[in-house]
């Protein structure tokens, strides 16, 4: 009977856990997080390590962060991992099914990043492509796991292009927000459909739209339109984008 009561208490504690935030400032420990590598004996590989922040400016002035050194033609399964140990977190609608993270690239302006939390023991990779990134400058991206099953996250796998890149990540934050730099109550009642989309999108729910701009996760305008139907987005890379209208409406959509 005591075991049953204890299990119930533990389950309740897990489900009411606050949103997870990891700034990687403290030295890696078993009770907090550890940096490791999947396939440590592989050659070539991608190597994760805890390092001093190489560029304390802009949106990230913290002292420490995580480095990912990617050797040329690295093995696809030899990538860095963050083990949370007893410091893991629940990913669900209440606590959040999005992960926000800061990224810095030292030698590539165009690259992709895959962030793969193990939710309930299941690897759930999401990949984003970034273009026109300013080197040695921190920026923020958000990864969407809203369609995945709820579960406990005990490990996070991550990698970039797997080809001679040097990257840094910092400030991993679990969130319920679907856009960067926008509060939930600032999202207007506009509908973007279909979402996710392949080549075209349309919007509805606001009759005063005269122009539309689409931005990538770096805040760079990538497309502009003067109508709200059959918007051609075929030129966009796969990823998350922000749609803004002339009257202040904001919505997120995913390009497949």
Span 53-62, pLDDT tens digits: 999 998 899 9
Residue 15 confidence (pLDDT) above 50: no
| pLDDT at position 228 | 72
The CATH number of residue 219's host domain is: 2.60.40.10
Same domain flag for 132 and 237 = no
229 contact partners, CB below 8 Å, separation of at least 6: 202, 203
- For the domain that residue 151 is a member of, what is the CATH number? 2.60.120.260
Q: Is residue 7 part of a domain?
A: no
Asked if pLDDT for residue 186 goes beyond 60, the answer is no
Q: State the residue range of the domain holding 204.
A: 191-255
Whether 45 is covered by a domain: the verdict is: yes
Q: Check whether residue 54 and residue 108 sit in a common domain.
A: yes
Q: Count of domains in the chain? A: 2
Tokens of 23: 């700034």
125 and 100 in a single domain? The answer is yes
Check whether residue 39 and residue 162 sit in a common domain: yes
Q: What is the pTM of this model?
A: 0.67
**Which phi and psi angles does 8 have, rounded to 5°?**
-65, -40
Whether residue 250 has a cis bond before it, omega within 30° of 0? no
Strand order in the sheet with 231-232: 191-193, 200-204, 231-232
Q: What local confidence, expressed as pLDDT, does residue 189 receive?
A: 53
Confidence of residue 17 (pLDDT cuts 50, 70, 90): low
Please tell me whether residues 129 and 104 are part of one structural domain: yes
pLDDT digits (tens, 9 = 90+) for 138-181: 988 888 898 899 999 999 999 998 778 899 999 999 988 665 54
Same domain, 115 and 66: yes
The per-residue pLDDT for range 89-119, each reduced to its tens digit, is 999 989 999 999 999 999 998 888 999 999 9
Is position 10 within any domain? no
What pLDDT, on the 0 to 100 scale, is given for residue 136?
94
Pair 65, 107 in one domain: yes
* Domain match, 29 and 101 both: yes
Shared domain check, 218 and 155: no
* Shared-domain flag, residues 235 and 138: no
Enclosing H/E stretch for 11: helix 2-15
Asked if residue 74 belongs to a domain, the reply is: yes
**Is the same domain home to 138 and 171?**
yes
Q: Which residue matches tokens 């990257």?
A: 167
């Amino acid at each position: 009977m005591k075991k049953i009561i204890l299990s119930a208490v533990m389950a309740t504690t897990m489900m009411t856990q606050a949103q997870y935030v990891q700034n990687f400032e403290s030295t890696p420990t078993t009770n907090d997080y550890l940096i490791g590598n999947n396939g440590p004996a592989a050659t070539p590989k991608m190597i994760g390590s805890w390092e001093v922040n190489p560029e304390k400016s802009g949106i990230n002035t913290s002292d420490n962060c995580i480095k990912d050194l990617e050797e040329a033609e690295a093995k696809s399964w030899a990538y860095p991992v963050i083990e949370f140990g007893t410091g893991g977190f629940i990913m669900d609608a209440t606590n959040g099914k999005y992960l926000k993270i800061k990224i810095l690239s030292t030698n590539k302006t165009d690259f992709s990043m895959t962030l793969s939390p193990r939710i309930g023991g299941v690897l759930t990779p999401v990949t984003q492509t970034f273009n026109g990134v300013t080197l040695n400058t921190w920026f923020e991206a958000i990864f969407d796991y809203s369609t995945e099953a709820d579960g406990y996250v005990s490990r996070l796998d991550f990698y970039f292009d797997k080809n001679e890149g040097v990257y840094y990540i910092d400030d991993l934050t679990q969130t319920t927000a679907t856009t960067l730099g926008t509060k939930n109550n600032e999202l207007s009642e506009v509908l973007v459909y279909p979402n996710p989309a392949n080549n075209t999108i349309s919007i509805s729910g606001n009759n005063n739209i005269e122009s539309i701009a689409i931005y990538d996760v770096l805040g760079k305008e990538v497309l502009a339109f003067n109508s709200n139907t059959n918007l051609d987005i075929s030129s966009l890379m796969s990823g998350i984008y922000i749609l803004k209208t002339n009257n202040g409406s904001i919505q997120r959509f995913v390009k497949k």
